[in-house]
Structure 1
């Protein structure tokens, strides 16, 4: 007899606790091999293809595309052993121990020993869980039952999300499933009933003037009719990190205008060499940053608030802000202090392409020690960026544009850029921050200064 094994959403590492199903890569009834990717999920860090450690026939999938699942929630079930007929989406049968599984280890998910299947603890009174509930013939909830104590008889995360989106109290619904299990049909029926019910104003105040009615409707619309966008995935991660940065870091910003004419001329000269890789402005600025951090290591640090210590970091892992269809991400160039401008440029190009394709891994988006933010690509001159917690500083770069500039005692048109440094005032004072920024500006104005550190 085949064994039906349950594969749960593994720990994807980097402190991630949930993921959203983006795309199923297998159907119920498909035969999968060990370590074959079965689902593509989106975490707060990246898009990840999740491989299944079992080989066999897929008998059930848990969650539609767009469903958000916590780590440890069932993803699918696989019948291993002799071939079986798939039973459709639904609960997994109890089974023993798998005798063959993946020898690989996904981040945070080990399969070195055969897993022992344990019964899942279900809410009290619920005997079975269905992955995709089927609408019953009669699914009419009671009008206004009093909220019941104890756990709510809901298993499907899709049902919970649907209720949240329509502000439904699940404790007031009577489930039509086994032992009171609340199904999707129950929630949809309650939504329809609420939509068909007469407006309270029309019942309570039939003689209200048309002007008052419009005023009341407008008030209700402004209070509750706005579009709600869930803060989750990349957007949610950005919101959490920026909020924590503002809450914990006493930041300050200083800025300076710099004449980038010679830097742009040096770049053009580099790129004129036949067969050589093209040097980007971002790569040159990144190399300038690593040289500046070698002189001012205070800005390549983090703060251990509990120990009340500043931790100066030996390596420079340089993050750079990249705007993608999924939102703002910060890929990290590892060991940037050991790379030249060409190597940094190649790595930036590789990570940028991965960001656009949505294939960055969580490891490529974490561990940065300093961030470079080129917001000039958006056509703006300046900004006061928020520090990428738990780092201590971020260098912002505006657009490089022709401006009037006093050069060698004469008014001239030069290529000018505004540089801004936001820094954690706990790790250094203004003198250090100003020294760092001034060195960066000097290298932008006179790139030959970098020859000292090459």
Structure 2
């Protein structure tokens, strides 16, 4: 007799208490293996695939895509020990008790069993035990053109389809084994844009019994306009987490900002020389600035610290975990380069490139977005010269970098056109005074103007 087990949204770590269902990876009736990812959720920190610790037949799912669930809420139910129709060796065949589950719930922490292809079955003998989904589905849903899992691997492809309200089950993939590629999604988007819009969409639907009342569909993440005509956008997910952290930073940290203009001509020349070596990996300006920051923090460790408000103590940290601000379509995120103080400009640059790509595709893990001790913010990519950034709580400082542009500059007693950048340091005035902050910023500026100074710390 099969046993129906309930799998709840697990604790995803890092203090996260809720997650939004982005895409179900299984459907009711699918056969799943132990530790197979069953749903993709978005937390305030990252996109995560959640594996199920049970093997068997999915009997119910709880929540539609776009639904936000708290930790501990039911995700799905699985009938373990259920015979698979037409097969006696399915993944659920020897999973008769709860102990058969792995007990692991986060991707990367499973038993390592290879994934199996999901098959549609009719669960036998479990009808009375099937849980009722929290959000009932439509009485007569439109039949899906393709049954079973969607042949999509890339999170970028999934996100692109979501942004354009495109049903991936209606697409025929051009990749190997019918894999849906980005080109397939973009082609479908173009076709939808070229198709004439139905006339019914242009007219509001008037609710019966309410004169002049109408119903409208809210955009994703936003509710209907209020009576005053303003649009309400929900602060949740990454945007909500950023809002909470910035608000807390402003409430708790007495910050101050100092800034300086620096001649980056020699730094740019040094970078060009580094990148002229055949076969060597390219070094970015951000990587050079990151290496300069680690050298400066070795001289001014006060800025690599945090404040324990309850104990009224400043905690100076031994390692430099360098965060860098990255703008993505999900909002601002701050990936962290671990142990940056031990790296070179080349190794730090490689890690920045890896984390930036993960941020762009939405595959950063919560661990890669937390634990920073100092943040580097390159807002020059937005074409601006300066800013007074808000400190990334609970850190003690952030270095901001503006655009590097040709400007008139007095060089060796002569007016010349030089590559000039504005540097700004926002710091927690509890951990140090202006002398320390000014010394840190002046050292950074000196290294930008004379990169050879870094040789003393290499």
TM-score (norm 1): 0.74
Partner secondary structure for residue 72 of structure 1: coil
- CA deviation after TM superposition for structure 1 residue 434, in Å: 0.3
**Is the 1:126–1:178 Cα contact (8 Å) retained in structure 2?**
no
Query: Which of 426, 432, 435 is the aligned partner of 1:431?
Result: 435
Alpha-carbon spacing, 1:131–1:154, altered in 2? closer, same or farther (3 Å) = farther
Separation (CA, whole Å) in 1 of partners of 2:201 and 2:131: 41
Partner secondary structure for residue 37 of structure 2: strand
- CA deviation after TM superposition for structure 1 residue 168, in Å: 30
Partner secondary structure for residue 205 of structure 2: coil
- CA deviation after TM superposition for structure 1 residue 228, in Å: 1.1
- CA deviation after TM superposition for structure 1 residue 99, in Å: 3.6
Further displaced range: 405-414 or 149-158? 149-158
| Count of residue pairs brought into register by the alignment | 452
- CA deviation after TM superposition for structure 1 residue 111, in Å: 11
- CA deviation after TM superposition for structure 1 residue 227, in Å: 1.3
Separation (CA, whole Å) in 1 of partners of 2:161 and 2:182: 9
Separation (CA, whole Å) in 2 of partners of 1:150 and 1:280: 44
Further displaced range: 234-243 or 127-136? 127-136
- CA deviation after TM superposition for structure 1 residue 326, in Å: 0.6
Q: Greater Rg, structure 1 or structure 2?
A: 1
- CA deviation after TM superposition for structure 1 residue 417, in Å: 0.2
- CA deviation after TM superposition for structure 1 residue 101, in Å: 1.1
Separation (CA, whole Å) in 1 of partners of 2:278 and 2:172: 74
Separation (CA, whole Å) in 1 of partners of 2:217 and 2:35: 59
Residues 347-375 of structure 1: CA deviation (Å, up to 9, x unaligned): 00000000001000000000000000000
Alpha-carbon spacing, 1:121–1:188, altered in 2? closer, same or farther (3 Å) = farther
Alpha-carbon spacing, 1:149–1:302, altered in 2? closer, same or farther (3 Å) = farther
**How large is the RMSD of aligned CA atoms in angstroms?**
11.7
**Is the 1:12–1:107 Cα contact (8 Å) retained in structure 2?**
no
- CA deviation after TM superposition for structure 1 residue 292, in Å: 0.2
TM-score (norm 2): 0.74
Further displaced range: 434-443 or 96-105? 96-105
Residues 61-113 of structure 1: CA deviation (Å, up to 9, x unaligned): 00000000000000000001032799999999999951411154638999999
Runs of 4+ in structure 1 off by over 4 angstroms are: 84-97, 107-144, 147-223
Partner secondary structure for residue 153 of structure 2: coil
**Is the 1:139–1:176 Cα contact (8 Å) retained in structure 2?**
no
**Is the 1:234–1:327 Cα contact (8 Å) retained in structure 2?**
yes
Residues 162-173 of structure 1 mapped to structure 2, 5 A cutoff: none
> 1:204 corresponds to which residue?
202
- CA deviation after TM superposition for structure 1 residue 26, in Å: 0.4
**Is the 1:322–1:328 Cα contact (8 Å) retained in structure 2?**
yes
**Is the 2:32–2:92 Cα contact (8 Å) retained in structure 1?**
no
Residues 235-257 of structure 1: CA deviation (Å, up to 9, x unaligned): 00000000000000000000000
Residues 172-230 of structure 1: CA deviation (Å, up to 9, x unaligned): 99999999999999999999999999999999999999999999999998754321111
Further displaced range: 94-103 or 200-209? 200-209
Q: Is structure 2 residue 153 aligned with structure 1 residue 151?
A: no
Partner secondary structure for residue 60 of structure 2: strand
> 2:247 corresponds to which residue?
243
Further displaced range: 211-220 or 354-363? 211-220
Residues 398-440 of structure 1: CA deviation (Å, up to 9, x unaligned): 0000000000011000000000000000000000000000000
- CA deviation after TM superposition for structure 1 residue 285, in Å: 0.0
Alpha-carbon spacing, 1:393–1:181, altered in 2? closer, same or farther (3 Å) = closer
Separation (CA, whole Å) in 1 of partners of 2:9 and 2:341: 37
Alpha-carbon spacing, 1:180–1:132, altered in 2? closer, same or farther (3 Å) = farther
Partner secondary structure for residue 99 of structure 1: helix
Further displaced range: 111-120 or 65-74? 111-120
Separation (CA, whole Å) in 1 of partners of 2:428 and 2:98: 52
Instruction: Flag structure 1 segments of 5+ consecutive residues without an equivalent.
Output: none
**Is the 1:135–1:185 Cα contact (8 Å) retained in structure 2?**
no
Separation (CA, whole Å) in 2 of partners of 1:95 and 1:362: 31
Separation (CA, whole Å) in 1 of partners of 2:354 and 2:149: 49
Residues 132-182 of structure 1: CA deviation (Å, up to 9, x unaligned): 7799999999999xx999999999999999999999999999999999999
